[in-house]
Structure 1
């Protein structure tokens, strides 16, 4: 789906099913009954542990642990000290006993699957993947019942969504935390106070939602509008009482209505009324509904005012009662709001022309017709006159030339006909123009005007709102949140300590019995190895029974108890081979550096004799220390605590290495220049010229000499570094 121009992941809820009376606690109670029955057999005199609430609380706590362990084991011992009347409980519980006790509970896990498929309008063969979450899905009987139900419904069958391959129920998420973390993440997506990765969700409403509309007296409050609308008023007429008693209940959203994750679901009601309204929105809880008992059905109440005043204004104009539009929105968070209320009235009008305009139009048409007739008559008269005059002139000229008279008469007649034709066309154009004007002046169709008025919506669901917290309540709430955070941190520490202890037990057992068994056997007695293994086994048994859910400090103490026995044994196994190698490398280093000091007396004059003696003294001290600890170690048995560790040699060698390296890098002193006797002035001038001519050669010779000295120093340093690398790379601490 798109969110502000960006594509985000989205998913849609197609169906839901649930059993509010079935959960992990239901199975805990079944296991509690098994343990209670077993313990009652140990009691005398018909005593029942169920009569002691404290004993039953302890029994329920152990029942939960037993239930969880039986999900991975076929049998488990149960040991509870001083359960009731200072009597210890010692028994065994098998998975078969647990499955027998829950034989009436397990089949109930199938019904929510059927309900969800029915709401979605799907069958099991259309399902591609199934992921189980929740702690109780680890119970083998529950998982088997779900798998059996789905396969009976056709999950993974031919033609379904799983392409005829074998299917298994997925358990890839943390079943204990998935629901809580998913709910928190969804709430963060809905909230504007958190910035988290957007994930789209289209939900489905579970219960139908209705609205009841009641005539109100306009802003008088929810109770007055509701009661007054229902029962009327004694001082009103029959018609007024009938209007005041008007009420209507209608459906807003049916069950399984899709609720978009961004905009929710919207429904608009339209009705024609002339009075204010009181509206109550509520869940439709019919017979057989699974609506939770004790939960308020009302989602919101609203007073809609401004209708009566608008209706009166329209009535004064002779218009009908207004049409009211109410827009309800079911938000993604499940909150119902009346977000818009509007009243409209349509007014239809017919435009008319005035009588004066009609008379004026008729007069204009008559005048124009008369002008057209007069023009035509004048043109005819003019034509006749011209003909007579032409006749006379023709007679006169005909006497002189008879042939030209007839041709002149024809020309004059043609001109007259042309003028007559033009006059007729002008008359037709004038008539057409008048018709267009008359057509424009004809009245148009009916005109519709819509009068709109936004109505005032006042939410009166004060029973659903919480008053501001007092200082004491705020302080208590913060303390509660801090306690929750502390408990969560303690849980994380406890789980980490539990995992560390479990991992350490497995690693110790593996090293002693398998990976390092031969090495360990060389440096330990059989009694020592047995003690380590037995301690590890006891710690594991304690972890899965009495220590299940123990605090982090207790778990760390158990791990330290095992480490105090196992660590020395494993260290001796490593030191048995590593210590002699480290000693040998240290003695080699001492021998090589002793010889190097003798060489330096001739090759490194920059290193003084006192400095070489200091190095030799430190080498002698190291050798003396090695002789002493080796003598002590030779007197000990291999299974006893060693006199020293290889890790102690490294720091002693490091100080000598640093001193030798610093002296090795010291450069040789520069050679002293010989003092020349003074010369006369002429000889000095000639020497100056000669010196200027030989300056380049002198410079070249000086650079060559300096380069040679530097090369010698690098060679010496390289040799010493190689010696150090050869003799000093065996620090036992690094190897260990």
Structure 2
């Protein structure tokens, strides 16, 4: 054995015990980790989507092994009234009782919050909301300048907090169906939401503890849902579709292109790309409802049933709004309808006929605006209607016949597409995207390319020198994202002329395509001011290197949020390449590194290449900027200098040829050294960034913590309210059901007159207490009263329950004893040579059977002597214990017999040996040899047949307690 192998064996022997311990510990740790992963995995597999419409909210979930689930609910938040005073906001706002609250107490109902997200108090949209819902008091947030709902000094809620309650309840709905916690979600938002509005949704999700995987535009979610179910129809030929979505609060028209594209990772896959978007923020079904409501109010006032003006009564107007919504739905299928409201005002009923012609006249100007989003979408996509293959309807308000009539005429198609679920499409598309983003699911890829509706640009000022030598400030603009630019996408802007600290602004670009109303409610056009520091110090630190500018890296993520990733100063330096190492030197270095010769610490001076991103070009227009002109001038001068150097080199070459041979070698060596290759290397240094938000200030950490606490307190109150109602219902049900049971025969048979009187009295007292104080009692009092009554009736219920179980349990025990006894007798009849059970096993079963029979007879006899009102001695749990013991003993013997092999007799073995020892060709008596074998086989078979007479060999045997019989693989 070689010394190397001896050393290896010695080391293995020395480390053997340590390795065994390490392997064992490692296996235990891996097993514990595996169990932990299994425990955590189910709680993180389900994901959900929330479609935040103006009026309706849709929640969809996806969970392994289950299909997609979706629920549609009205988006209403109401306050709970206690003694006439609101004490909390209830998140149980999706049920019919909460819809009634919007009629009875409209002041404490919050709806259509979407239009207030990301808006300052002086925004015209806030005044428009106040006009629609005059019952609310909207005040200004002193710290942020946004809107706050104020009902009292205590009850003040921002739209983000109210939206957080909506998301929290949405998650509750999803978790109840999924039966596991859910944190990840994809939330839909209107395509026209700007940066401030999207941040408001993210802040609301943060308050609710929901992790947002993506904010997806609702039109994109609809397009994704449409494309997912038509994958086979998508090919390399572009297909242009238009989705016209008229909801309750707004209208959007979207042009989408479907086609297959090649990807590096997954080959050819289908893709949708948003090409054009047009919208109208205030065109929707709710405006139609309001106009119908005002028309009904006018008709009621004309009837002169009361001196009061119905428009001044918020509750009456809420009733008319509900009737107007019903009326609009009915008029979509009928030419006229009779509107009626009972007890509208001063107990006076209202009834009036409204026709579809009247409705269309009331909303004539709204119908004229229907084609607007279509034309705007075509303009942004730079397409014509001839390029659109189909116009597909989405949204509930597209069901209005006049809307379809005007839209069909404007698009010039034969018909409108109705091959998609107008209500569920956005939620189902969003939940598909949630599954694609989640690591717990693997779905077929479907590429999505969103589009930025509003352009974004960077603006900065720079000092320049004019032709006359004077210096002035010049305002520069760089387009960061053009209108309809696809995202997610990264961009980088380079500032070449700055060597000191400076600032630049991020603003919206040209919004001239917006109407005057949309522009007035848009909000601030200035997004962020970025102040950079550390620019000057980076230049002083790298004075020997060539500056390549200050690069700002931007990212518009999947949610359409613009982020500034980092800002860095980029420099370039010249590094001489090392001489080519010989093969032996490389081999030596490699061997040296294998034996620890190399350094494991990274070199602090190693430069990394700058990330290659899309460079945003400087502004180009009709005139060329001065910066570009200077750059071209420098380039020209550099070319002239290069030509001069070439001429000088030629002259030097001619002079070199005339030199003597002795000096030629030295000059050749110098020239070779001069021509040594050089490498240009870029490196960067981060610049400090300070951001100042200019549109809507983000809430402070203290404000976020306060909002989280407020939402948690409200959630706890809701849970407490639910618990109280549950306990109250349980107490009421217990009292009524027990009072009824006291008149039933099976209960009267087990209670004495004294016990019956006590129970009846206590139930009557509890019923009277419920009528007087129970409905205002707290949860603790209700729970204590319920526990007191249950404790009082516990003995009675126990006796009744035991008497119900006796017949079935005793019949099962009797059947088990019969089968066990028969099995034991069958086993004992087996010949001793074929017996497969030991004497101890048979005696154990015999003892168990006898003890069970004795216990049964004695206990039944003792129970018959006792009064039905006394605690029984024959208990169902004892019978079940005896059944289990018998079943265990019999199953043990049955399983042993099932796998037992027949014994081969000695005579048969000897005969076989003798026959095999005879020489070849010697005749034998075939009858004398085959007879013992037949006897052995017959004996073994008969033994098994005797042992397992009532079961089939090789099957799984069990006893069915409910049917009182033995079963074998589901058969008796």
TM-score, normalised via structure 1 length: 0.44
The structure with the greater share of residues assigned to strand is 2
The structure with the greater share of residues assigned to helix is 1
Select the structure of larger CA radius of gyration: 1
